[in-house]
Amino acid sequence: MGVLSEKIVADIKALLSRYPSKQAVTLPALHMVQDELRCVPLEAIREIADLLDLAPSEVHDTMSFYGIFRDEQHKLGKTRLWVCRGLACAIRGGEDTLATLCDKLHVKPGGTTPDGQITVEFAECIGVCEGAPAVLIDDRGRPDVTPDKVDGLLAELRR
């Protein structure tokens, strides 16, 4: 039995007709795996490669090119919290928000809390410039997250 669920395998196969080549399905397949498993295990790389008729090294190359994928030793927490460091957010205190989050969660940027609940990362821009400083909670933008609002945000995320 592999690490990919039947649903992920079916979803990957369903994408094949929507892309110009099997190789083009690599990136969405990696996203599907990470969304479900909170990382992309080595065995998943092999299984994706088999499904797409690629060498595992080709799948791994795609995974390692992007800084968003995690291996088994660095699993994502239940919630992924991106803090924006783009120009607008930097000017309005984004670095202070990042520092406050890391301090309160006792992690460094890129780290996950010991309970596996929250991973804190930074991004150069999350596209919520009008609400700087902003964060991205999984796939949802949250504007105006200043250091004084961090406690409320963390309480909300831990519910």
Helix, strand, coil fractions of the chain, as percent rounded to 5: 55, 10, 35
CATH 3.60.15.10 holds for 6-72: no
Alpha carbon distances (Å) from 136 to 43, 60, 66, 110, 130? 29, 26, 18, 14, 14
Phi, psi of 70 (to 5 degrees): -115, 145
The hierarchical CATH code for the domain 76-158 is 3.40.30.10
What are the boundaries of each domain within the chain? 6-72, 76-158
The size of the chain, in residues, is: 159
- pLDDT by residue, tens only, the chain of 159 residues: 699 999 999 999 999 999 999 999 999 999 999 999 999 999 999 999 999 999 999 999 999 998 899 999 999 999 999 999 999 999 999 999 999 999 999 999 999 999 999 999 999 999 999 999 999 999 899 999 999 999 999 999 998
